[in-house]
């Protein structure tokens, strides 16, 4: 009888811990990720508007949510968003960011993260190639 009691109480404790973890009760006091929003504004290569703007639902600009724990994570996501692997489709991008509704600036203090993008010269303005 005693062993059944111990098994049942152990199972109840395990179940309680699982429920607390699932509902977030076990994480009280930990910081939650904030709201990072990345704003894209693309300039298409001539005649490539439809394809270039497809990532924004056919529009030249859009705002997309991004997972970030803090402002620095949002900055990193915005800089990464400047990458352009469609060289003959998208001429250039302007990428801005906000975290929890407040504007986020690049490391050099600019709104446009792509102004600081290290591969800007090789990935932007390549339409003719």
Q: For 64-104, write each residue's pLDDT tens digit.
A: 999 999 999 999 999 999 999 999 999 999 999 999 999 99
**Residue corresponding to tokens 């109840």:** 12
Furthest CA-CA distance within the chain: 82
Confidence class for position 32, pLDDT limits 50, 70, 90: low
Judge whether 44 and 90 are in contact, CB under 8 Å.
Answer: yes
Mean pLDDT (whole number) for 40-64? 97
Q: What's the pTM? A: 0.73
C-alpha to C-alpha distance for 63 and 39, rounded to whole angstroms: 4
Confidence class for position 129, pLDDT limits 50, 70, 90: confident
> Beta partners for 96?
39
Helix locations, the chain, DSSP H = 2-23, 49-52, 71-80, 120-123
Return phi, psi of residue 119, to 5°: -100, 15
């Amino acid at each position: 009888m005693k062993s059944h009691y111990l098994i049942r109480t152990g199972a109840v404790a395990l179940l309680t811990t699982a429920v607390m973890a699932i509902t977030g009760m076990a994480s009280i006091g930990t910081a939650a990720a904030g709201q990072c929003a990345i704003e894209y504004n693309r300039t298409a290569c001539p005649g490539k508007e439809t394809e270039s703007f497809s990532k924004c639902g056919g529009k030249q600009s859009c705002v997309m949510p991004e997972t970030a724990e803090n402002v620095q994570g949002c900055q990193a996501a915005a800089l990464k968003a400047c990458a352009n692997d469609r060289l003959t489709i998208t001429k250039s991008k302007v990428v801005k960011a906000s975290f929890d509704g407040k504007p986020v600036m690049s490391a050099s203090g600019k709104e446009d993260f792509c102004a600081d993008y290290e591969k800007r010269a090789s990935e932007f303005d390549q339409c003719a190639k």
